[in-house]
Amino acid sequence: MSVAIRLAGVGKRFGAGPVVLEDVRLDIADGEFVCLLGASGCGKSTLLNLIAGLDRPTAGTVEIPDAGAAVMFQEPALMPWLTASRNVELALELAGVPRAERRARALELLDAVNLADAAGKRPHELSGGMRQRVALARALAQERPVLLMDEPFAALDAITRDLLHEELERVWRRTGRTIVFVTHNVREAVRLGQRIVLLSSRPGRVSGEWATAGADPAALAAEITERLRKELVRNAA
């Protein structure tokens, strides 16, 4: 299987501050769904920004497909004066899609996240979960081979989060995108990822990896939680 993302000895330090990431080595296969897990402040979001090209490493290299990556953050950041459809169309316009095709494509993408009926509504008329669905449709509109997601469901209630997990998994299987999903929620990582990568803290390094295929979710979550707890105790010492 071909490699979509390759991190080779990646390190990051901001100015004269402490090292945030150190010698991160990770290959992510084309079409793979990887959850990046770790305690708050371990450098998960920093690593995602490096993969997205929003920042540069101070050591090592980051390789991603030439077409780049789309990024979805915790906040949907929709344009409040635009409808759901127009928010998606804006991404299509920036991607160079002709005007005649944009509306139909935007509706198709909203339908993909089960939101076609809300195409004419503005963000304030939508629930938090619906706004995140629009943000997902907008990210998909960029037609990038890699989708980076930085705790996109963290602010949602448990029921809405579960529903969006199902939507995301369905969209991933349909599109075949490579997804890197940052979370600090162990159960969310086990629920979504094909592979879970745990970052240590201070500085962030790959300290563990688990494949979810064939594993008992409860047992795997307990194992990873214990490993995470040990990391927290070690760094608190």
Task: State which amino acid sits at residue 107.
Answer: L
Three-class secondary structure assignment of 217-236 = HHHHHHHHHHHHHHHHHHHH
Indicate if 163 and 62 belong to the same structural domain.
Answer: yes
Indicate if 139 and 149 belong to the same structural domain.
Answer: no
Instruction: Residue 114: give the domain boundaries.
Output: 77-143
Q: What is the pLDDT of residue 131?
A: 93
The enclosing domain of 160 has a CATH number of 3.40.50.300
Query: How does pLDDT run across 183-220, given as a tens digit for each residue?
Result: 989 999 999 999 999 999 878 999 999 999 999 999 99
Once rounded to an integer, what is the mean pLDDT over residues 77-103? Answer: 89
Q: What proportion of the chain, given as a percentage, has pLDDT over 90? A: 66
Indicate if 136 and 210 belong to the same structural domain.
Answer: no
Indicate if 149 and 232 belong to the same structural domain.
Answer: yes
Indicate if 167 and 139 belong to the same structural domain.
Answer: no
Query: How does pLDDT run across 8-60, given as a tens digit for each residue?
Result: 999 999 988 889 999 999 999 999 999 999 888 888 999 999 999 999 999 99
Number of folded domains that form the chain: 2
Those residues whose C-beta lies under 8 Å from the C-beta of residue 229, and which sit 6 or more positions away, are none
Indicate if 111 and 152 belong to the same structural domain.
Answer: no
Query: How does pLDDT run across 104-113, given as a tens digit for each residue?
Result: 999 999 998 8
Indicate if 41 and 109 belong to the same structural domain.
Answer: no
Indicate if 128 and 26 belong to the same structural domain.
Answer: no
Once rounded to an integer, what is the mean pLDDT over residues 99-120? Answer: 89
